[in-house]
Amino acid sequence: MDWGMANRMAQLIQPDGHALFLPVDHGYFQGPTRKLEEPRQTLAPLLPYADAVFVTRGVLRACLDPVGAKPVILRVSGGTSMVGKDLANEGITTSMEEAVRLNAAAVGISVFVGSDYEKETLLNLGKLVNEGERHGIPVMAVTAVGKELEKRDARYLALACRIAAELGARVVKTYWCEDFEKVTRGCPVPVIMAGGPQVDTALDVLEFVDDGMRKGAIGVNLGRNIWQNDFPVPMIKAIRAVVHGNATAQEAHELFTSEKEKETKSN
Ligand code: 5RP
The pLDDT, as a whole number, for residue 196 is 72
DSSP 21-80: EEE--THHHHSS-TT-SSHHHHHTTTGGG-SEEEE-HHHHHHHS-STTPPPEEEE-EE--
C-alpha separations of 128 from 32, 66, 143, 171 in Å:
27, 25, 15, 13
Residue nearest to atom 13 of ligand 1 (CA): 142
By C-alpha distance, which of 60, 19, 61 is closest to 220? 19
Mutate-to-test residue for ligand 1 from 33, 59, 90, 142, highest number of ligand atoms within 8 A of CB: 142
pLDDT per residue as tens digits for the range 71-82: 999 999 999 999
Global confidence as pTM: 0.96
Residue nearest to atom 3 of ligand 1 (CA): 26
Q: What span, in angstroms and rounded, lies between the C-alpha atoms of 250 and 207?
A: 8
What parts of the chain have a pLDDT lower than 70?
Answer: 146-147, 149
Instruction: Give the domains, in start order, of the chain with CATH numbers.
Output: 3-266 (3.20.20.70)
Helix axes 232-245, 202-214, angle to 10 degrees: 20
